[in-house]
Structure 1
Amino acid sequence: MSDGPGRRFDGQVALVTGAGSGIGAAVARRLAVLGAEVFAVDVDGPAARGVAQEWERGHALTADVSESAQVDQAFEEVVRRLGRLDVVVHAAGVDDPAAKEWIAEALVADRPPEVTGRLGDDAWRRVTRVNLDGTFHVLRAALRVMAPRRSGAVVTVGSSSAFDAQAGYPHYAASKAGAHALSQSVAKEAIAFGVRVNTVAPGPTDTGMAARTPAALRRGFADPRVRPYATPEEIADIAVFLASEDAANLVGAVLLANGGRFTV
């Protein structure tokens, strides 16, 4: 059992990717409130610094998760400064605004979306490099630090799109489904070394990424029978739970947080 919400992460060191905005920023703030010393990591360095400056003992690092050397350098910097790393939450990810526009145009015109045939190699690689390769880079770096100490918790942020794959969004769905499977495979390996890996799979969440979603597509996600868009803080609370000792028996879990849109 934890010692109470105010002390849950006292004395622990946490690294959060994608911490410059959205879910990552919400996770970083929550961990800081709960006592952790937090490193906010983002490809947008000024954004990371802006978030880290909100609390005492906040640190900011700039890294593109699609670049393995940058990820390794960020983890090495944390260990160099503080000698340990207890919690990693990997929230960095990207979408494809152009593909979203194509889907929205088809929705307005009441016709099926035609995306796959128009999807270029660069768009495919951008999404998979960040969402899938980036998850591998972060998991690998985390295990290199945590496994020797036989302790640690890693949470990856996936997507409900991995299960309810949207027509016209194949690269995003594939990247997130791959990230889920990757996290689960690593979880089975890592637990032998005392490291827990789990995943939260949000549905529509009110982040900057969602704000860039075309209005027609946002309306398409609206459903009066389920909860509306989640807030970043609601998803952050789930990620923080998975990282805490309260989730000690959860290993390789993928927790859907989609407001009741579907179950698996």
Structure 2
Amino acid sequence: MEHEHFGRFDGRVAIVTGAASGIGAAVARRLAAEGAEVFVADVDGPASEAVAKGLARARPLTVDVAAPAEVERAFAEVVRRHGRLDAVVHAAGVDDPTAKEWIAEALVADRPPEVTGRLDDTAWERVVRVNLSGTFHVLRAALRVMAPRRSGAVVTIGSSSAFDAPAGYPHYAASKAGAHTLSQSVAKEAIAFGVRVNTVAPGPTETGMAARTPAALRRGFADPRVRPYATPEEIADIALFLASDEAANLVGAVLLANGGRFTV
């Protein structure tokens, strides 16, 4: 189906993190279809190359958002090639499959999950390093490029888990809640320099991360009273709206996109 906003990003330069799969890949494809020069950034270099190869005006970048030097190099590469950066969509993030298994086992056994006491430092630090520190690294790099030019839009991909704080998923919920608040604080600083920062907080979405979710948990998200799992493209459409001129007055927003599972 032809996208109704074709050409919104003509002549603009964008970087998308986590762009090798899921929501990030959908965002990269949408941006390219709407005219942007897109840098497809991901920790998985071959996968980012595969996505970029299928797009017009796209270039892959291998970036671990948890490594600040890699993030700075990636943004410097964009500026070196184009002299500007107009849009950033930060979709890179990780979950914890082991914690999900523990939650699912408890659900099947009809008992409360016991996760926090079993979480080791490595599991905690991995999730926080990528989801929270990674968001800081990307926001900082974006502002260093955009603020001097008094122009730009940044969209971070959060999670509805930041609001409903699922039992047994404390590190993920905390990392996303932190990323939301981080984005909002930076948004209030950045707008004085012409840069807008906003967040999308998806609920269950059909991504590779969701595919690894245990069946018992997936069934728990199935409810005929709400929308089914979102598609990556549906979340990408919200991200592109926030990155576009149509959202000129949205600053520091966190848009909950969970299909009606709960409101805040």
Instruction: Say whether the fold is shared (TM-score over 0.5).
Output: yes
Which whole-Å CA distance do the structure 2 matches of 1:151 and 1:165 have between them? 34
Which consecutive segments of 4 or more residues in structure 1 shift more than 6 A? none
Which whole-Å CA distance do the structure 1 matches of 2:57 and 2:226 have between them? 39
After superposition, where does 1:38-57 map in structure 2 within 5 Å?
Answer: 38-57=38-57
User: Partner amino acid for 2:54?
Assistant: E
Aligned-partner SS, 1:6: coil
Which whole-Å CA distance do the structure 2 matches of 1:210 and 1:49 have between them? 23
Q: Which runs of 5+ in 1 are unaligned?
A: none
Aligned-partner SS, 1:5: coil
After superposition, where does 1:109-188 map in structure 2 within 5 Å?
Answer: 109-188=109-188
Aligned-partner SS, 1:201: strand
Aligned-partner SS, 1:261: coil
Percent of counterpart pairs with the same letter?
Answer: 83
Which whole-Å CA distance do the structure 2 matches of 1:125 and 1:56 have between them? 37
- Summarize deviations over 1:20-73 as a string: whole Å, max 9, x none: 000000000000000000000000001101001112211000010000000000
CA-atom RMSD, angstroms? 0.6
Residue aligning to 2:242: 242
Q: Which runs of 5+ in 2 are unaligned?
A: none
User: Partner amino acid for 2:133?
Assistant: D
- Summarize deviations over 1:51-100 as a string: whole Å, max 9, x none: 01112211000010000000000000000111110000000000000000
Residue aligning to 1:190: 190
Residue aligning to 2:86: 86
- Summarize deviations over 1:183-242 as a string: whole Å, max 9, x none: 000000000000000000000000000000000010011111100000000000000000
Which whole-Å CA distance do the structure 1 matches of 2:189 and 2:18 have between them? 25
User: Partner amino acid for 1:201?
Assistant: A
- Summarize deviations over 1:144-200 as a string: whole Å, max 9, x none: 000000000000000000001100000000000000000000000000000000000
Aligned length in residues: 261
Task: State the TM-score, normalizing by the size of structure 1.
Answer: 0.98
> How big is the shift at 1:5?
1.8
- Summarize deviations over 1:101-153 as a string: whole Å, max 9, x none: 00000000000000000000000000000000000000000000000000000
Aligned-partner SS, 1:84: coil
Residue aligning to 2:255: 255
Residue aligning to 1:100: 100
Which whole-Å CA distance do the structure 1 matches of 2:155 and 2:59 have between them? 19
Which whole-Å CA distance do the structure 1 matches of 2:210 and 2:6 have between them? 31
Aligned-partner SS, 1:77: helix
Which whole-Å CA distance do the structure 1 matches of 2:56 and 2:246 have between them? 25
Which whole-Å CA distance do the structure 2 matches of 1:52 and 1:84 have between them? 20
Which whole-Å CA distance do the structure 1 matches of 2:17 and 2:115 have between them? 29
Task: State the TM-score, normalizing by the size of structure 2.
Answer: 0.98
Residue aligning to 1:59: 59
| Contact 2:7 2:33 survives alignment (8 Å) | no
User: Partner amino acid for 1:51?
Assistant: V
Residue aligning to 1:68: 68
| Contact 2:106 2:113 survives alignment (8 Å) | yes
Which whole-Å CA distance do the structure 1 matches of 2:6 and 2:205 have between them? 26
Residue aligning to 1:5: 5
Which whole-Å CA distance do the structure 1 matches of 2:126 and 2:14 have between them? 27
Which whole-Å CA distance do the structure 1 matches of 2:95 and 2:103 have between them? 13
Residue aligning to 2:35: 35
